[in-house]
């Protein structure tokens, strides 16, 4: 894909795995040098991306040889040297976290100033975003400052099936089945526990419907999608395991919002991000329930 020099681009991704697969493919097929600024530590990125081909900066408040604090001036300093003639492409992951930390207006001004500074240079910045995490009006303002690129991926049979079923099921939902979600502090939908699905009569179509409901909450339930190709019994076993994880993260999110006054902004944003990814559940429960 061609990313023209001197510009900032945004790309939509709904799951971290989808984003990392795209990064790995771009790095493999491009002759450009890549820099990745990511919220994920190297040990997790190693599972998805060949780190020998990119320069990695871990966007974290922890101090290490490769960490970068979430300070906008420091982030800018790692972007602006690219204006001196380097063909490097920088991918800034963790945009939602930065917005939560610094505020939407501050980030919008940061992007505006950065866009002006990069004009006429050889620098290129790519910002992956999850559009569900932002208010529509603010997102429209952001896209006046950046070039939005739609990534066309080769869809698997499962993805194609889910998209087709989503269109059909959305039309078939009665008003009582259309869930209205409360919004959280980050503008994304609050989590809620859905009724447990019984094993009797459990079908592929029912599973797709539940996957879509969880996706709309912003949950990464990609681990459940292989169940669409399993037999009914095995599929239900996988569904039950994921459902239990989601029950736990809903309780964790409720706990965080109940004690929001005693939890720092950065800590809250980090915990909410991990909850939506269904990662570190044991660690979060130990931290907050002990």
| Pair (128, 229) in one structural domain | no
Region class of 94: left (phi > 0), else alpha (psi between -120 and 50), else beta = left
DSSP 191-224: P-PPPPPPSTT--HHHHHHHHHHHHHTT---GGG
- Per residue in 61-105, pLDDT tens? 888 778 899 899 999 888 875 445 556 789 999 898 899 899 999
- pLDDT band for 148, please (50, 70, 90 cuts): confident
**Residue 91: per-residue pLDDT:** 93
- Per residue in 8-18, pLDDT tens? 999 988 778 78
- pLDDT band for 286, please (50, 70, 90 cuts): very high
Least confident piece of the model among 7-11, 76-80, 127-131, 279-283: 76-80
Q: Which domain holds residue 208?
A: 157-289
Tokens of 70: 């979430």
Q: Is residue 174 part of a domain?
A: yes
Give every CB contact of residue 222 below 8 A, 6+ residues apart in sequence: 15, 17, 18
- Determine contact, residues 249/281, Cβ cutoff 8 Å: yes
Give every CB contact of residue 151 below 8 A, 6+ residues apart in sequence: 1, 11, 12, 13, 22
- Per residue in 30-67, pLDDT tens? 777 889 999 888 877 877 787 778 888 988 888 877 88
More reliable by pLDDT, 249 or 46 = 249
Q: Is residue 227 part of a domain?
A: yes
Mean pLDDT over each residue of the chain, to the nearest integer: 81
Report d(CA 236, CA 128) in Å as an integer. Answer: 33
Q: Which residues of 156-165 are buried (b: 16+ CB within 10 A; e: fewer)?
A: eebeebbeeb
Q: Is residue 233 part of a domain?
A: yes
**Residue 240: per-residue pLDDT:** 94
Tokens of 4: 């023209």
**Residue 153: per-residue pLDDT:** 52
Distances in whole angstroms, Cα of residue 286 to Cα of each of 192, 280, 281, 283: 21, 10, 9, 5
Q: Count of domains in the chain?
A: 2
| Pair (239, 180) in one structural domain | yes
| Pair (161, 282) in one structural domain | yes
Report d(CA 32, CA 196) in Å as an integer. Answer: 49
| Pair (134, 174) in one structural domain | no
Q: Is the confidence at residue 157, as pLDDT, over 80?
A: no
Share of the chain above pLDDT 70, in %: 83
Q: Is residue 1 part of a domain?
A: no
Q: Is residue 31 part of a domain?
A: yes
Q: Is the confidence at residue 217, as pLDDT, over 70?
A: yes
């Amino acid at each position: 894909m061609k990313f023209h020099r001197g510009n900032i681009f945004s790309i939509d991704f709904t799951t971290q795995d989808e984003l990392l697969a795209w990064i790995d493919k771009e790095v493999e097929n491009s002759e450009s040098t890549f820099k990745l600024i990511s919220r994920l530590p190297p040990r997790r990125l190693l599972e998805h991306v060949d780190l020998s081909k990119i320069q990695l900066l871990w966007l974290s408040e922890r101090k290490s040889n490769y960490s970068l604090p979430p300070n906008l001036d420091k982030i800018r300093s790692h972007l602006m040297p690219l204006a001196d003639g380097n063909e490097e492409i920088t991918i800034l992951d963790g945009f939602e976290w930065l917005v939560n930390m610094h505020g939407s207006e501050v980030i919008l001004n940061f992007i505006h100033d950065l866009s002006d500074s990069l004009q006429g240079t050889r620098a290129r910045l790519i910002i992956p975003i999850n559009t569900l995490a932002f208010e529509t009006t603010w997102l429209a303002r952001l896209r006046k400052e950046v070039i939005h690129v739609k990534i066309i991926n080769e869809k698997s049979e499962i993805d194609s099936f889910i998209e087709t079923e989503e269109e059909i099921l959305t039309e078939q939902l009665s008003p009582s089945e259309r869930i209205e979600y409360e919004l959280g502090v980050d503008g994304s939908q609050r989590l809620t526990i859905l009724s447990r699905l019984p094993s009797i009569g459990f079908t592929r179509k029912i599973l797709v419907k539940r996957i879509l409901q969880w996706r709309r909450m912003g949950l990464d339930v990609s681990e459940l999608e292989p169940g669409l190709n399993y037999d009914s019994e095995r599929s239900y076993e996988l569904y039950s395991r994921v459902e239990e994880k989601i029950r736990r993260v809903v309780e964790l999110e409720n706990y965080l919002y109940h004690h929001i006054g005693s939890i720092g902004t950065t800590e809250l944003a980090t915990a909410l991000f991990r909850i939506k990814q269904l990662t570190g559940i044991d660690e979060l429960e130990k931290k907050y329930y002990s």
